[in-house]
Structure formats: C-alpha cells, structure tokens
Amino acid sequence: MIKGKLDEIVSEVKEYAPNLNNRADFDVYKSTISGPKGKLTEIMKLMGSVPKEEKPEMGKAINLAKQSIQDTFSKVIKSIEENELLGQLGSSIDPTLPSPELEKGHLHPISQVRDTIVGLFSRIGFAVAEGTELETEYYCFDALNIPADHPARDMQDSYFMPKTSSVSNVAKKSDERYLLRTHTSSVQIRTLLEEKPPIRIVAPGRCFRRDTPDATHSANFHQIEGLYVDRKVTLTDLKATLDHFVREIFGVSAKTRLRPSFFPFTEPSFEMDFYSPDLGKLSNQWIEIMGCGMVDPKVFESVGLDSDIYSGFAFGIGIERIAMILQGVDDIRNYYQNDIRFLRQFPDSIA
C-alpha cells in the first residue's frame, strides 16, 4: 500500500512539476510534496507502523522515491532560473555573438619609465637590487656618512616611526629609529654588506620626504639608485656610463655636464645636467636630472671595504623627473591621482 502511494506521488511529480514556470508556484507545489504536511512526508510518518521485517524494503522504496522527486525538482528549478536570467537580460540575447572587446590595462607611466631605465642599465651589466621602504637610521643615514644634525634627520623633514615600533624583517639597533626611506641610497649599504665587489646594481624604488605637494614636489616619489664598485673605477667610468644613459633616454645628440655639488656619501659629488636638441622645445636649456659622485671612503669604511683597493661611483635618478620630461607632464601630482583620463594618455608600448 505504501509502495503504491509512493509510485503515485513520483509519477504525479514527474507530470506536474515540469509545467511550473515561476519560483513562487514551484515553492508552493514543492511544499505539498516534501513540506511538513506534504504527501511524501505523510508517508514517511507511516514507517513507524510498518512491521519490522518489511522496514528495510520500505526504507529503500522511500529513498528511491525521494531521489527521483529530488531529481525532477532540480531540473525544474534550473529551468526556472534560466528563464529568470533571460528575463533580466532581455529577449534579444544572442549567445553566439563574440564577447565585447576587452579593454587591456597597461603599466602606470612611472612604471614604464622605471622599466625603460632599468632595462637600459641591465644591458650594460647592472643587476637589480632591492631594499625596504621602511628603513633604519643606520642604512638611510649613518652608514652613508650623513651626520646626526643633517636636516633630513630632523623630525620635520622625514617620516619617522614611533621609537617603540619594531618590524620583524628590518633589524634595528636598540637606540635607532625607523623611518620611511628618504632616498634609495640605503640600498647601496644593504648591497655592500651582502655582496663582494665587483658590484654593479641599480635599485629602483619608492622614497618619502615630508613636503608640501606642488607641481614639482610630492611626499612620495621614485628613484633609481646606481652603484658600481670594483678595483680602479674612476670618474671617467661614471661620466661615460651616465652619458650613455642620457643619450639612450633623451636622444643621441644630448649633451651632459657635471656641476660640483655635495653629498655626504660621495666625494667628489656632482649634479648632472643635460640638454637635448632632440627634445624640441627643451633644446638649449640645461636640466638637472640626478645627483652622483665617487663613493666616499667613509662609506667603504662603514661596510668594511678597503678604500685603497676599491673605488666606485653612485648616482640617484628621480624617476618622476625623467618621466615628466619624456611624457610632457607639467604637474607631478597627475601621477598619483589615478585619473583614468590621464593614465590612458600613456599606453604601454609593450602591453
């Protein structure tokens, strides 16, 4: 008797359920079968009165019926859902049409210029080195011969962390402070402590200085540090390397000049200027593009290298500076505002 009823329910569901075409009707019908007072539920309640020896067979029959009903319900709800989706999409959908053209993103203009510069130096034998953006005073200042009273060490000029902070992957001496690196020159020290000469590296990365933003200043910006240390490295090597860089970047007829300057970690120190007739409007106007010089013997001393044996040169290029010239951008703040109308003007040639 139970079996007969089960068969009845199963065939009823098979016949009736596929006609349901919306979720509300489906839910109502489903509850008449498997809801608390549903037909199937009522039958299951009868199991208690079934003689013991018939129970296994009854159990099996109920399970089969349940499975069959469940399969039918799943098919029906799937087709209802598909119809709902079609309703949302409109009737004119043609699934055979190709998908709309995907718009490819591209590298940020600053990243593009960084990659160009790094690529240029890697072709002449410079490897890429990395440091950390959070630095200790030792790497950022002390080891670079920057004295305690230097303005960059003033609380007002750099971003210092509270004295109590500690960062697991940047070891500090007990009495020094962490700060956001003010230049990539800290990577010089990290590299010199880890590797033996000959060393030829470029270290691109983000730097931070407390500054009021204007068209040419930003509190965060990017540099590429260069360092070459070996026996008998001379000023001629520095000049030739940087001349090569300038001509590759700004055009073959670009001219350079070194102006005496001062950095605590290079001696002698220079600012390098260039002008390039190839740049049209900018021709005949000297533009300062980087600081550079020969590694100061005090730096060798702080990393345990003998300055009678080794010599070297270092330079620090401001990426934004170069990018602004190459890309004709007159306000540095454009680079950080994430305005898609600005970024789209610099499609990546490699992407």
| Residue 122 to residues 30, 127, 329, Cα–Cα distance (Å) | 70, 6, 27
- Record the tokens describing residue 207, joined without a space: 């730097």
291 binds ligand PHE (CB under 6 A): yes
Q: Taking contact as CB under 6 A, which single stretch among the options 34-42, 78-86, 156-164, 290-298 is the one that binds ligand PHE?
A: 290-298
Minimum CB–partner distance for residue 346 and ligand PHE (Å): 25
d(CA 236, CA 241): 8
289 binds ligand PHE (CB under 6 A): no
Query: Considering beta carbons, is residue 76 or 110 the nearer one to ligand PHE?
Result: 110
Minimum CB–partner distance for residue 137 and ligand PHE (Å): 15
Q: Taking contact as CB under 6 A, which single stretch among the options 18-26, 47-55, 119-127, 286-294 is the one that binds ligand PHE?
A: 286-294
* CA dihedral sign of residues 188, 190, 191, 195: positive
Minimum CB–partner distance for residue 195 and ligand PHE (Å): 18
3-class SS of residue 55: helix
d(CA 157, CA 208): 10
d(CA 260, CA 266): 11
Question: x/- site string to ligand PHE, residues 142 to 171, per CB under 6 A?
Answer: ------------------------------
Tell which one of 191, 293, 302, 322 touches ligand PHE (CB under 6 A).
293
Query: Considering beta carbons, is residue 72 or 223 the nearer one to ligand PHE?
Result: 223
Minimum CB–partner distance for residue 254 and ligand PHE (Å): 20
Angle at 302 between CA 298 and CA 307, to 5 degrees: 55
* CA dihedral sign of residues 144, 149, 152, 153: positive
Q: Where are the beta strands (DSSP E) in the chain?
A: 127-128, 134-136, 178-180, 199-208, 220-231, 255-263, 266-275, 287-295, 310-318
Query: Considering beta carbons, is residue 204 or 316 the nearer one to ligand PHE?
Result: 316
**In the beta sheet, which residues pair with residue 316?**
225, 291
When CB distances to ligand PHE are compared, the closest residue is 316
263 binds ligand PHE (CB under 6 A): yes
Query: Considering beta carbons, is residue 250 or 315 the nearer one to ligand PHE?
Result: 315
How many Cβ atoms sit within 10 Å of the Cβ of residue 223? 26
Query: Considering beta carbons, is residue 32 or 132 the nearer one to ligand PHE?
Result: 132
Minimum CB–partner distance for residue 291 and ligand PHE (Å): 3
- Record the tokens describing residue 238, joined without a space: 């520095």
- Using CB under 6 A as the binding rule, the residues of this chain from 169 to 228 that contact ligand PHE are 183, 185
Tell which one of 72, 136, 158, 266 touches ligand PHE (CB under 6 A).
266
Minimum CB–partner distance for residue 317 and ligand PHE (Å): 8
Query: Considering beta carbons, is residue 310 or 315 the nearer one to ligand PHE?
Result: 315
Q: Taking contact as CB under 6 A, which single stretch among the options 30-38, 285-293, 301-309, 336-344 is the one that binds ligand PHE?
A: 285-293
Query: Beta strands 266-275 and 255-263: pairing type?
Result: antiparallel
d(CA 52, CA 140): 85
* CA dihedral sign of residues 158, 161, 166, 167: negative
Minimum CB–partner distance for residue 349 and ligand PHE (Å): 29
- Record the tokens describing residue 82, joined without a space: 């598909």
- Using CB under 6 A as the binding rule, the residues of this chain from 302 to 331 that contact ligand PHE are 314-316
Binding site for ligand PHE (CB under 6 A): 183, 185, 263, 266, 291-293, 314-316
